[in-house]
Amino acid sequence: MTTISKFLKKPVSSLFLSVFCGFVTSFIILAITGYSPFEVASSLFNGIFSRPKHIMNVVIKGMPIIFTGISVAFAFKGGLFNMGAEGQFIVGTIASLIAGSIFDLPPFFQVLVVVVFGTLAGTLLGGLTGFLKAKFGTHEVITGIMFNWIALYISNFVVSLKNFHRPNSNSTFPMKDSGFTGLRGNLGFLKDSFFSDILKTEVNVGIIVAIVVAIFVSFILNKTQKGYEICAAGLNAEAAKFAGMNVYKNTIYVMMISGGISGLAAALSITGTSPHSISILAGFENNGFNGLSVALIANNSPIGCIFSGLFFSGLIYGGKSMQSDLKTPSEIINIMMGVIVFFVAVARIFPIIVDRLLKRRQKSNG
């Protein structure tokens, strides 16, 4: 039995158990509300895996939250909680749209300029958060939340500007199509194959960049001198300071890079998928907030964010097919995700519970 508790102490097994508990709990809720858990499970599964198209859609939807997950994970390694990923994503979208509408360059350069603008906007907002933290000690979570709202209203303001606003709609004009990052045109060779229905999706370069960024960030954190400093400051700022590291500067750098990754997510998102424009936002779209959950499930590993991001987007996307097949309420999938995140957050209780059960058994035996 001790092997079980040892097994459960490994982070990975706790993670899978958390996910499992999340599913079980949500199926119980479904059963109580009168839906057959098996039907729901099969509908969810089919919604994700039945056709290449669905899988590709999960990947496309997952791309932005993989990025914001990496962004949050990176900041977390540096000891900062990037609650402002949402806002950084929004300003990234705004900057990308503006650049993509104003400039008119050949396709490759246009994409480059749009992406640089989006990334830069996120970098600046993240950097500002970091600067306020380093200089005045303002907590990054507070400023992050405030900047999220500021970004939201700036976005709505931009939509209302005469130059960008499309008449009789609640959105802007789309950006110039030379800035699009869709790959459909390059995948013509798939036309007659089994994968042909991928061409019906908005397949784009985003996921490739996401994987590259995940590997790159992972390399920076684990193999470089800068990464050594960042993690040192994150694990123990006092010790890092004492060892001669400049923790203040680090805070600003880390937030800049983290913000930049969220901005990049936004740029690739708006250039990759329609409508390539911004709409009036009544509330947050949760690209950044979902990143928090993604990073949490990935235990702040950038590579892990790829998988947890896909898992999350699978739930979101598959949840839609549940809704259309079985008429389940849309909230159920949110409950499921919430429960899973909850169990991941408290995953540490599993080994404790097992230990306690073991002890009780020993007592009753002896």
Residues that bind another protein (CB under 8 A): 2, 223-226, 228, 231-232, 235-236, 238-246
User: Least separation, in Å, of the C-beta of 22 and another protein?
Assistant: 28
Nearer to another protein, 199 or 358 (CB): 358
Nearer to another protein, 76 or 312 (CB): 76
Helix pair 107-136, 140-160: axis angle to 10 deg: 140
Residue 65: both structure tokens together:
């939250």
* Alpha-carbon span 11 to 19, nearest angstrom: 12
* Three-state helix/strand/coil letters over 98-162: HHHHHCCCCHHHHHHHHHHHHHHHHHHHHHHHHHHHHHHCCCHHHHHHHHHHHHHHHHHHHHHCC
User: Least separation, in Å, of the C-beta of 9 and another protein?
Assistant: 10
- Answer whether 171's CB lies under 8 Å from 280's CB: yes
Nearer to another protein, 5 or 178 (CB): 5
* Alpha-carbon span 122 to 75, nearest angstrom: 13
User: Least separation, in Å, of the C-beta of 292 and another protein?
Assistant: 22
- Answer whether 85's CB lies under 8 Å from 289's CB: yes
Nearer to another protein, 200 or 249 (CB): 249
In single-letter form, the type of residue at position 228 comes to: Y
User: Least separation, in Å, of the C-beta of 224 and another protein?
Assistant: 5
Residue 327 burial (CB count, 10 A): 8
Residue 270: both structure tokens together:
């708006």
* Alpha-carbon span 179 to 166, nearest angstrom: 19
* Alpha-carbon span 203 to 13, nearest angstrom: 33
Nearer to another protein, 161 or 352 (CB): 352
User: Least separation, in Å, of the C-beta of 234 and another protein?
Assistant: 9
Nearer to another protein, 246 or 323 (CB): 246
User: Least separation, in Å, of the C-beta of 8 and another protein?
Assistant: 14
Nearer to another protein, 187 or 358 (CB): 358
C-alpha separations of 275 from 26, 61, 125, 172 in Å: 33, 14, 25, 10
User: Least separation, in Å, of the C-beta of 362 and another protein?
Assistant: 10
* Alpha-carbon span 16 to 133, nearest angstrom: 36
Nearer to another protein, 208 or 353 (CB): 353
Question: What are the DSSP calls for 46-91, one per residue?
Answer: HHHHSSHHHHHHHHHHHHHHHHHHHHHHHHHHTT---TTHHHHHHH
- Answer whether 180's CB lies under 8 Å from 276's CB: yes
User: Least separation, in Å, of the C-beta of 239 and another protein?
Assistant: 5
User: Least separation, in Å, of the C-beta of 296 and another protein?
Assistant: 18
Residue 354 burial (CB count, 10 A): 18
Q: Which three-class secondary structure state does DSSP give residue 1?
A: coil
